[in-house]
Structure formats: C-alpha cells, structure tokens
Structure 1
Amino acid sequence: MQIKLAFITLCTALLTFTLLISEPLKAQTNFTLPDLGTSALQALPLEKEQAIGEVMMMQIRGASPLINDPVLDEYLTTLGRKLVANANDVRFPFKFFWLNNNDINAFAFYGGHVGVHTGLIAQADNESQFASVLGHEIAHVTQRHLARRIQQQQDNNALTIAGLIAGILATVVAPDAGIAIISANQTQAAFSQLTHSRSAEQEADRIGMQTLNNAGFDPRSSSDFLTKLAAQIRYKYNPPAFLLTHPLPESRVSDVRLRAEQYPKRQIPESLAFNLAKSRVLARYAQEPKQAQTLFEKLLKEHSFDKEALKYGLGIAYLDQEKYDKAQSILDALLKNDPNNLFYIDTYTDLLIGQDKADEAVNFLAEKNKFRPNNQVIALNYANAAMHAKKNHLAEQILKTFLLEKPEHSLAKQLLRDNYKDQEKLVDYHEASAAVLAQYGAYIKASDEIQKALNFVKPTELIKQQRLKALLTQYRRLQKELARL
C-alpha cells in the first residue's frame, strides 16, 4: 500500500515545538506538559516524560519523512514489542516508527518513542543485527538517559530546557543539521546533551545485549554491527549518522566485543520477515524502480540473499514501473506458497488496484479479513480497495471499526478523511481533516476545519453542533495558550 504525504519544514516545526513545550497544554489526548521554559527543572516524572514525547512526536510527524507503510510498520512493531517484552524496567508502552532516510541511524526519545531510518535495515546483514540497534535504543529509554541528562543541566543558566529539547529534536531527525545548529550557537553544553555520554552508551550496550539475548536473538550481532560501523569510519569523511549521536571510540567496540563473547554462540535461522522488509525498503524507498529492478536481478543471479525475498523485491520493482504482467507472475507464485503472508497480501492488493481490478481486490481482502479482523495491513488495504471500487460505505465501516481499536493511527485517519471527501460528506470531511491536523500540532488549521464543518451542519442537528463547538473551543484554547507565549 502506497501513500505519499507533504510535510512542513523542519525549522518551522522546531519553532512550533519550542512554543509548545514552554507552557502546560491539554490536548485531545489529555496529556499535560510541565513548564520547561527555563533550566530550573527539578525532576522529570514519568508522566511528564511521556507528555514531552507525545509533543515531540507531533513535530516529528510534521518535520520528517515518516513512512506510512502498514506492512513495514507491522514488522517493526512486532519486532520491537518482542524486544520490549524481554527488557527490564519498562515503565510505559513503546512506539516504533520509520523514517525514509538512507542514513544508518535509529534514535529513542522521551516516553518510549523509537525512530528507525530505512538505511539501518538496508545495511543490516540479518535480523539479529537490526534488533541489536533497537535493543540498544530501548535501553536508552528504560534507563531514562535523556531525562537524566536534562536533570544534570538544571543549574546551567546558559541553556534553557526548551532550547535543549529543540536541539534534541533536530538531531534525532537529522543529526548533521542538529549538530550544526548547536555549533552555530557555540554552546558546548548543548552539544553534550545531543550525544549520549560514554557511560550511557556502555549501559545501553550492556542492557541492550541482555535484552537481545533474552528475546532469542544472537547477542554477538551487537559486536558485529558496531564493527561494521567502525569499518565505515575508516573509509568515509562523514561517519554514519548513528555515530553522530552514539559515539564510537575504539574502547567501546572492544568492550562490546568482549561482552558478546561471554554469551554462548547461537545459530539463528534466517528471518523471512526481516528479509522481506529489507527487500521492500530497498525496492520502494532506497532505489528508483528501474534501479531496484537492476539490483534485484543482479542479486538473484548471484544467489547472495534469500531467494523469496529477492523475488518479492523484484515484484515490487516491476509493479512500481507498471509492468503488471511480470509483477503478477512473481506475486502469484509467492502467494501460492504462502497465502497469508502480509507482505505478499499488501503488494498483491496494490497490483490489483493498478490493474483496475479493485472489486477483485475487495473480494480477496474480505476473505483475509474474516480470519484476521482489524489487522492493520489487511484492514487498511481492504478500506483502500473499497474506496477504489467506489464502495465508500464499506470503506467507512472498516475504518471506523479499525479506529475504535487504534484511535491515533495516522494513516487510518487520513484514509477516512479522503473517504468522506469522495462521498461529499462535508461535515465529516472537515472534522476528519481537523483530527489529522491536530496530530501535527496544527491547531489553527484544525480550528478552521471545525468552523468549516459547522457551516455545513443542519440547524436540526443540535447534538452534532454541540460536539463540534466543543472541539472548536478546545482547539482555540490550545492556540490561545500558544499565543500568550
């Protein structure tokens, strides 16, 4: 399933973020922020850390090329939850998300948010290597390294907490840009906040490796991946992005290698899900379709990677070039051998829609939905296919049911908004548009959408009027709080 979005600039988002974190706010998710406008922060309770994380996530949605890809999201979330279930000191739910960026990087911030660049999985040799980085980032959160670093700066009058977190936001999204911002200000104290200390890295290495082992992965992969990154430093003027915020002195590589050798050797079978996710990233995000076709044809001749995953990547490359017959030949064979594989189901749906066979796609997904109701890959593809088949009422039912379980799912909200537009349900369309905008912290525009919705409400629809007016009041209150700053 492919959805392309437009995003506002990073600088605008950072300015908005600095305002957002300077005064307590109550959003529709009912979180309340502490006053972070000065450096006199005495403590950062867990609930406040979560609240900060939610606001930072709003800005990342607006400033970054987030990937709204249900099948990749399903894979990453499943892997992340497996690691979290085997971690210690977990205090709140974790949320994992992808950024379309070829840099080798991952980052974690307040409240259990973990972002992963597509470049990380593209460069990982196996699932254990990929999981080792996630385990490391999970450890940064469970040990509250960022929160502890902020508290260490509470007596530094030269650095406001608001400015500090804005710098962190810049750096986790685009490390080069973020560090340049700090360097321009010549604030060494701020730069030290953007890179984890040696002790924090050692702690995250140790705890992350334990988590990796407990989850059934190969802990020695932590050493393998760091060694791979260290090798890249020797041949590149600019180090991988991950190393800009995760320092890698030789002593750290040696420490990780020695610690990994304390674990018994473990033979981990190849993960088809990992290989399919890697092929999907290479085919759809790292390469242009024609280049991807050349790459996968070459790899298939060399037998250098999982054959099924390479065929899947080649099928995507054909599909994205509208070479439907070639794509169908591959996908038919893959589905025959593994009919319930979510990667294949998702891409086969795109193929049917591309062939103007939306009705066939609806029937195909209706059967899948019986056995896995409300699975995000099946449900969202089902709704998307129904919209293409002009079965908007069916799509609306699917999406509303899905959002009851996952009310904050961004792609589902966008699809519901588009579905209302197709049906010319103007009240519902503008209300849904407001809900999408609120996820980005764009409360002025959200208020405008609610006002537009009110203009189309019938005089007899009193309950709907009252509900919309309450939403309008809420958005305007949030905006007034920002305007007072």
Structure 2
Amino acid sequence: MRRVTAIVPALLAALMLVVVPAVNARADLLGGKMTLRDENKMGHDFDQILRAQQNMVGDTYITDYVAEVVARVVTGKRPMPFHVKSAVIANPLINAFAIPGGYIYIFTGLIQSVDTESQLAGVIAHELAHVSQRHVVSRIEKQKKVTLLSTAGMLAGLLLGIAAGGGNAAQAGQALVIGSQGAATAAMLHYSQDDEREADHVGLNSLVAAGYNPEGMPQTFEIMLKNKWYDNSSSMPSYLSTHPGTAERITYLNDRIARMPKEFLERKDDNTRLKRVQALIRSRMSPANTALAYWDDMKQSDYTPMDWVGRGITLERLKRLDEAQTAFEKALSLAKDDPLVVREAGIFYFKSGQADRALGLLQKASIMNKDDAMALFYLARLQAEAKQYGEAARNMRKVNELVPEDWEVHHHLGMILGESGDVFGGNLHLAYAAVYSMRLDKAREYLKRANELAQTQEQKDQVRELEDAIQARAQIGK
C-alpha cells in the first residue's frame, strides 16, 4: 500500500535501537534496574515513532508469513519475557533489529537476500536473543545516570538523516544525536563481542528447538559478508555495522553445529511461501529495471505462476501495460485458483483502468482469503469509485481491522465515509490517518470537526478515544 521513497542510512537502526530507550529512560535509573514495564514502554514508544516515519509493509501476505516464522522461533525460546511483535520495513538494506519490549523489525532487503527459511529464522533467533538477554537494557542500566533529552531535538537529528537518505545531511543528523547524548550513547551504538557470542549461543539453541536447520544462522552471516564486497550502496549489509566480529562468529557457530546430531543438519525447509514473498518484494520494491533483468535472465519455460506475476508487476511499473497484461493472463492460465495470483491480477486491472475485470478478480481473491488486506483494500477502492459506498465502507473497515494503524487505510476509509454522507465518520478516520502519520496538528483539526458533529453517545465516546490517541502520540518519548 506504500511506496519505498528513500534508503534509510545504514546506521539508522543502530541509532534508533539505543537512542530512543535512552530518551525514555527515567532519572530513577541511578543504580536501579529497569522493569519489564519500563522495557515495554520503551518498545511501544519506539514502535509508534518508527511506524510514523518508515515505509512499513502493509501487505498481510508478507507480514503474516514473517510473523509465522517469528512465532515459530519464539516456540524455541520459551519462556520469553515479552509478547513478541513483528513488522516488516520496506527497505533494500540487508538488516533486522529487535528492541526492548519484544519488537522485531525485518527489512525487505534481508528477506530478499536469503535462500531458505532457516536462514531468515537464524537472524530472527539471533535478534530475539539480544532482547531476551537484555543486552541493550543492560547497557542503559550500566550508565547509572541517563541524561534526559528533548524528544524534539533527538527526533530532529534522526529525521534529518532519514529524509536525506544518506550523505552529509545524514551525518549531520547523526552528529546532532551524538552531540546531544555525548560519549555514553556513542559507546552504545554497537553490540559487544560478548553480547554477540551470547546472542549466537542462545539464538542457535532456539533455532534448533524450533525445528529449523541450525546451518541457517551462519549461512545468513556468510551471505552478508559476501554482499559486503559487492556494491556498497543499497545492498550494503548495514547489519554488519552494528554486529561486530561476524567472521569469527561464523567459525564459532560452525564449530558448534559440527558437534550436533546429524539429523539436525538434515532438516529441510519448505521454501514455497518464502519464494512467493520474494517475488512480491522483488517486483514491487526493487528498482524496476533490476527486477525485470532478473526475470529476463530466466527461461520462461521455468517460470512459476508467481514468476509471471512478478514479471507483470514489474512491467506495469515500467508502463509496459500490454506486456504486463500478457504476463498476468499467463499466470491466471496456470493458476486461476491461486488467491495470490488472482489478487495481483485484480490489482493490475484496477490500476490499468479495467474496472469490470478487476472487480471479479478482487472479489474472488477476497473470498478465497478473507484476511488478505490488499485484496480487500483495492476491492473497497473499486467499489467506492462505482459509488457503492456501503460495500466499500464495509470492506475498508475489514482492512482497518487487519492493519489498524495504517494511515493510508484510515485516509481511504475517511474519504469513503465522507463521500457517503457520514461526515462525522469521515473526519474521525481522517484524524486517525493524521495521527498515524504523526501530523498531529492536522489530527487536531479533524478532531475539532468530529467533536462538533458528534451527536450520539457512541460518537462522543469515539471522539474521546481519538483525543486519547492524539495525546498518547504527543507524549511519545517525553
């Protein structure tokens, strides 16, 4: 539902990982310990800021797959002190990170770079080990005295780097953060070798306990090292900059794995869903010419239906609509009952202005997979264009239930409700769109209008909930 607009600087994840917890830490940390409640608050605040500023993947086919891999890894980590929550960031960097409170973020660049699910699970297991072993929190506690900073100043430094996508502005943003926080924060920008060794040890244990092939963990680190020697722009594994000693850790992991039972190494992954997710990411989020070169290098006789879909999406991005339509029709001829193939064909026909063809496909896709947010999203938009506001609102509300904090979904729902005559509901959801994109002044404008329109007790309660949501966002990081 969103487009990739910029590349996050390679150090961003590391900065955010430690800066936000430092901002939120309370003065009573003098000699004290952070509670699980403190860690949950840190994680929640960080998550809200990140979602407002980054291109979060809203396609539930992708996010559900990642969440299932994460959940499987967590089964090997019982007991886990937090309820783990995952999200996918639309960014080509090979990166992943987890923060206190059990929040884990996977970059699309990492998903695209792995060959097997065990490799993806290996990074997830390692990151969750950093959380369960409280490596970041322990560093904060060891500072003994945490300087409380202006949230606005701190975020200004971070956002300066984000908006620039690198270069001098990004360096200036980093300098602002470091200058405000001082040497103590600078020392926390990297995990220590001891932290990494423990995360490797604990993570490998959970990977094995979850039923994955343990070789997945060192294999992913080897992929990252290999990428290090190629193009050092969008594909540079920023993961390496925040996780030191990778080469030595690969040796350690391989030594441990060599002593494991043979049957662990014979475990096989079912990579079917991974490959389908990768086709979506490559076609939507890679440079279009690069994606097309990938499919041009393949023999078309070897194409799966999803390869035809990926080729079609890429050609549509390149405005080669006739060729794109041919690709989608080929995919449908091979897999007319595949929900993902049907959905993507429906989205293509919606974008290319063929409403009748799109309607049948999107309806079919949403019936086959009632939890497919993308199918419902485009179906609702199509119905709104046909002025079928009742059905459009019902379907967009379903999308809102599946991805409740997606500002774009709230925006479209607000527009649909407003056009249907529900002015109160329109203003309410446009306000939430502004809340979740951190445009709080605009949110307050819509709040005022909704408050003036509220008549029933239910509407007044909804206004109060909106007020609370705006207030909560305004307090993040304070």
TM-score, scaled to structure 1: 0.79
Matched, 1:199 2:194: yes
> Which secondary structure state, in structure 2, belongs to the residue aligned with residue 398 of structure 1?
helix
> Which secondary structure state, in structure 1, belongs to the residue aligned with residue 26 of structure 2?
coil
- The counterpart of 1:364, out of the listed 356, 361, 364, is 361
Matched, 1:437 2:434: yes
TM-aligned CA distance change 1:482 to 1:120, over 3 Å: closer
Alignment of 1:14-413 (within 5 A): 36=26, 40=30, 42-153=32-143, 155-156=144-145, 159-160=147-148, 170=158, 187-233=182-228, 240-263=237-260, 264=262, 265-269=265-269, 271-288=271-288, 290-300=289-299, 307-339=304-336, 341-404=338-401, 407-408=404-405, 410-413=407-410
Q: Which residue of 2 aligns with 1:470?
A: 464
The CA distance in 2 between the partners of 1:286 and 1:162, in whole Å, is 37
> Which secondary structure state, in structure 2, belongs to the residue aligned with residue 103 of structure 1?
coil
The CA distance in 1 between the partners of 2:270 and 2:20, in whole Å, is 47
For 1:334-380, what per-residue CA distance to the aligned partner results, in whole angstroms no more than 9, with x for missing partners? Answer: 34544454432331121120243334433333344445434434433
TM-aligned CA distance change 1:340 to 1:445, over 3 Å: same
Contact 1:443 1:475 (C-alpha < 8 Å) held by counterparts: no
User: Structure 1 residue 70: deviation in Å?
Assistant: 3.4
User: Structure 1 residue 451: deviation in Å?
Assistant: 0.3
Contact 1:36 1:162 (C-alpha < 8 Å) held by counterparts: no
Segments of structure 1 that go 5 or more residues without pairing to the other structure are 23-33
More moved, 97-106 vs 183-192: 183-192
For 1:111-149, what per-residue CA distance to the aligned partner results, in whole angstroms no more than 9, with x for missing partners? Answer: 222112222122223332222212211222233322222
User: Structure 1 residue 440: deviation in Å?
Assistant: 4.4
Contact 1:140 1:200 (C-alpha < 8 Å) held by counterparts: yes
For 1:289-310, what per-residue CA distance to the aligned partner results, in whole angstroms no more than 9, with x for missing partners? Answer: x44223311234797xx75543
Contact 1:38 1:162 (C-alpha < 8 Å) held by counterparts: no
TM-aligned CA distance change 1:371 to 1:308, over 3 Å: closer
Matched residue count? 458
More moved, 197-206 vs 418-427: 418-427
User: Structure 1 residue 433: deviation in Å?
Assistant: 1.8
> Which secondary structure state, in structure 2, belongs to the residue aligned with residue 190 of structure 1?
helix
Letter of the structure 1 residue corresponding to residue 276 of structure 2? L
Q: Which residue of 1 aligns with 2:450?
A: 453
Letter of the structure 2 residue corresponding to residue 193 of structure 1? M
The CA distance in 2 between the partners of 1:121 and 1:475, in whole Å, is 33
TM-score, scaled to structure 2: 0.80
The CA distance in 2 between the partners of 1:61 and 1:479, in whole Å, is 12
User: Structure 1 residue 406: deviation in Å?
Assistant: 5.8
TM-aligned CA distance change 1:46 to 1:64, over 3 Å: same
Segments of structure 2 that go 5 or more residues without pairing to the other structure are none
TM-aligned CA distance change 1:57 to 1:452, over 3 Å: same
Task: Report the RMSD for the aligned CA atoms in angstroms.
Answer: 4.1
Contact 1:420 1:428 (C-alpha < 8 Å) held by counterparts: yes
> Which secondary structure state, in structure 2, belongs to the residue aligned with residue 116 of structure 1?
strand
Contact 1:276 1:312 (C-alpha < 8 Å) held by counterparts: no
Contact 1:68 1:411 (C-alpha < 8 Å) held by counterparts: no
The CA distance in 2 between the partners of 1:182 and 1:480, in whole Å, is 20
User: Structure 1 residue 151: deviation in Å?
Assistant: 1.7
For 1:29-82, what per-residue CA distance to the aligned partner results, in whole angstroms no more than 9, with x for missing partners? Answer: xxxxx7635753723222332222121112112322333333322332232223
The CA distance in 1 between the partners of 2:348 and 2:207, in whole Å, is 37
TM-aligned CA distance change 1:410 to 1:317, over 3 Å: same
User: Structure 1 residue 4: deviation in Å?
Assistant: 4.3
For 1:166-189, what per-residue CA distance to the aligned partner results, in whole angstroms no more than 9, with x for missing partners? Answer: 69x959988975765565569443
Letter of the structure 2 residue corresponding to residue 272 of structure 1? T
The CA distance in 2 between the partners of 1:456 and 1:20, in whole Å, is 40
The CA distance in 2 between the partners of 1:368 and 1:201, in whole Å, is 44
Letter of the structure 1 residue corresponding to residue 259 of structure 2? Q
Contact 1:358 1:386 (C-alpha < 8 Å) held by counterparts: no
TM-aligned CA distance change 1:327 to 1:212, over 3 Å: farther
Identity %: 19
> Which secondary structure state, in structure 2, belongs to the residue aligned with residue 240 of structure 1?
coil
TM-aligned CA distance change 1:215 to 1:470, over 3 Å: same
User: Structure 1 residue 321: deviation in Å?
Assistant: 3.0
TM-aligned CA distance change 1:389 to 1:327, over 3 Å: farther
The CA distance in 2 between the partners of 1:45 and 1:275, in whole Å, is 40
User: Structure 1 residue 473: deviation in Å?
Assistant: 5.2
User: Structure 1 residue 426: deviation in Å?
Assistant: 2.8
> Which secondary structure state, in structure 1, belongs to the residue aligned with residue 57 of structure 2?
coil
